[in-house]
Every structure is written in C-alpha cells, then in structure tokens.
Chains A and B, each alone.
Chain A
C-alpha cells in the first residue's frame, strides 16, 4: 500500500494523541473540569439566562455543565475514530486513485475532516461562554457541519474515484 502525504499522517496521529490525552484528562480531572464549567456559567449569567432563583439557576447550570462534559466526551471518541480513519482512507486514496489532482483533493478534504473532533472542544467552550443553546447552535453550524461535510465529501469522492479508476482499468 502507498503512503499518503506526511501532513495527512501527521494530522491523523495528532488527532489520535489529542483524543487519548483528552480521555485520560477527563477521567483524572473530572472534579476540576466540573468546577471550571460551573465557574464559567456563573461568570456569564446573561448568556445562560440565570434568574437569581437558586433552584432554577442550579438546573440551568447543571444542563450547561452536562453539555460541556458531553462535548469533551464526543471530542475523545470522535478523535479516536477519525484519526485512524484519516490515515486508512488516505492510504486507499494513495494506493488506488491514479489521478494526482483528484488524490490531492481527497487528501485536503480528509485532512479537514480529521479536524472535526476539535469542533467538540469548541462546542464545550461555547456552551459555557455563549450559553448552551446559542453556543451549541453556532458551533454546529459554523464548525462541526463544515468539517463533518468535508469528511463525508472525501469519502464520497473517494468512492466515485475508485469506481472511475476501475472503469478505466477495465476499458
């Protein structure tokens, strides 16, 4: 099998390393992360719609903290999945797509798509800084959707290119 460009391999490895480290930190530093999240919600009362009522504010804070923790968890799991995916799929492109420019396009889309898990880090931070709903929606629209689309486009493009390469070989 041919090796894809070093930069794609590096991005894949970097994302795997980040995902592994995030998992370990989430386990070891859970209380500290929760304290930080609670502090950030308290520091942004307007964004979270805190009303000064202890019961209501506690519920809003708990939901925001849960969302931030879920974002970290998604970051960990997606990084562990997309890192190897970028390396394996780019290897298929390197080995089976005969057209240089088409290969380059697949590499570029895959490299972007491999950064998709980082969107969940932004998701966690945005949920705390901008409020749960506004933050999550903004990150989903402007970070997760474009990066996820890049990964999907890379896979679809690769499938089309594999079919075209097969047709060329049999012609």
Chain B
C-alpha cells in the first residue's frame, strides 16, 4: 500500500488525547462505583435530603415525604447514570473530532480555538451531570439542575456544539471545493 502524506490522519494534541482518555477512565470508574456503592450513595443522599426538609418541601407526613424523597433519589441515580454514559461517549467524540480538526483545518488560530472548544467542551460537559447529582440532595432537583446548566451544560455543551458544527462546515466546504 502506498501512503500519500495528505491522506493520513494527524495526531491531535496530547492534551486532547489525555483529556479524552481521563474522561473515559472517569466514566468507567463512575459506572463501577454506581454499582459497588449504590446503597451507600442512596443512603448518603437520603440523609442529606432529610437534613434539609424545607429545601425539598418535606412536610413531616411520612406518605407525602417518602414520595418526594423517592423522586429526588431517582433523579440522583439518573444523574450518575447520565454522567457515566455521556463521559464514555464524549471521550470518543473528543478523539474523533480533534483528530479531524488537527488533520483537516489549516494551521492557525481557528484550528487552535476549535481544538480548545472540542477538548474543554467535550471534557467539561459530562461533569455537569455529576455536579447535578451532587447538588440534588443539598439544593433540590430543579435548583441543582439550574446550577449545573449554567456552570457546565451551557458553557461546555454550547462550546462543543458550536465547535462540532464549525468543524463539520469546514469539512463540508472542503468537500464541495474538491467536487
């Protein structure tokens, strides 16, 4: 097989690969911990919720309170699952997209900006789910969601969405020019 230099992938920066690998590792650890410490995590969340009755709207009536606590615990569990899933997925997305950016975008400021957005956005976004989960027992489901949204999902998720569309547009334009 003969190899033309223009037809080979360029490696993305080591920082991007490191971020992706660590993110995937965090996802694996998160998934394993969810299984291993399921009861401990639920017990911890429950105790924090019970210590903050006003925040969760607990009224002291067992039937009513148990339903509220169950709903919060379901969301708490979902947040950990979503962290696990998104971190695994985004790790691979970071590798694929930064490899494409490093190879197909001309060197310069735009490429550096793209690589930063794809790496930081992709790596930061899944931690929003972890943040949401940790904050649920302290601040309630909706307030915790709003914090995670503004601190992680909008900045990091927004960054990676903009960068991925930008990269797709650059590759699409190159495809059109070549045609």
Contacts and interface: CB of A to CB of B under 8 A. Distances in A.
Interface of A: 1-3, 6-7, 9-10, 12-14, 16-17, 20-21, 23-24, 27, 77, 80-81, 83-84, 87-88, 91, 94, 98
Interface stretch (B43-51, B54-62, B65-73, B163-171): B163-171
Nearest to B122: A20
Nearest to B171: A10
B9 A84 contact: no
For B85, B99, B153, which residue has the most chain A Cβ atoms within 10 angstroms? Answer: B99
B168 A21 contact: no
Contacts of A20: 93, 157, 160-161, 164
B13 to A, nearest CB: 17
A3 B9 CA distance: 5
For the complex of A and B, list the 4 residue pairs with the smallest distance between their C-beta atoms, beginning with the closest. Answer: A84-B96, A17-B164, A13-B168, A84-B92
A14 B157 CA distance: 16
B1 A6 contact: no
Contacts of B8: 1-3
A14 B165 CA distance: 7
Contacts of B3: 2
**Main secondary structure on chain A at its contact with chain B?**
helix
B89 interface: yes
Given A1-B9, A2-B7, A2-B9, A9 B100 contact: yes
A9 to B, nearest CB: 6
B178 interface: yes
B178 A6 contact: yes
Contact of A13 (B90, B149, B158, B171): B171
Interface string B73-100: 0000000000001000110110111011
Contacts of A80: 89-90, 93
A10 B168 contact: yes
Contact of A81 (B89, B164, B167, B178): B89
A1 B175 CA distance: 21
Interface in B8-44: 8-9
B168 A87 contact: no
A12 to B, nearest CB: 7
Contact of A16 (B7, B85, B164, B172): B164
Given A2-B8, A24-B161, A14 B168 contact: yes
A9 B92 contact: no
13 contacts: A3-B8, A6-B174, A9-B104, A13-B96, A16-B96, A16-B164, A17-B165, A20-B93, A27-B153, A80-B90, A81-B89, A87-B99, A88-B92
B103 A3 contact: yes
A21 B97 CA distance: 15
A10 B172 contact: yes
Contact of B161 (A10, A17, A98): A17
Contacts of B157: 20, 23-24
Interface in B104-148: 104
Given A3-B9, A81-B89, A87 B100 contact: yes
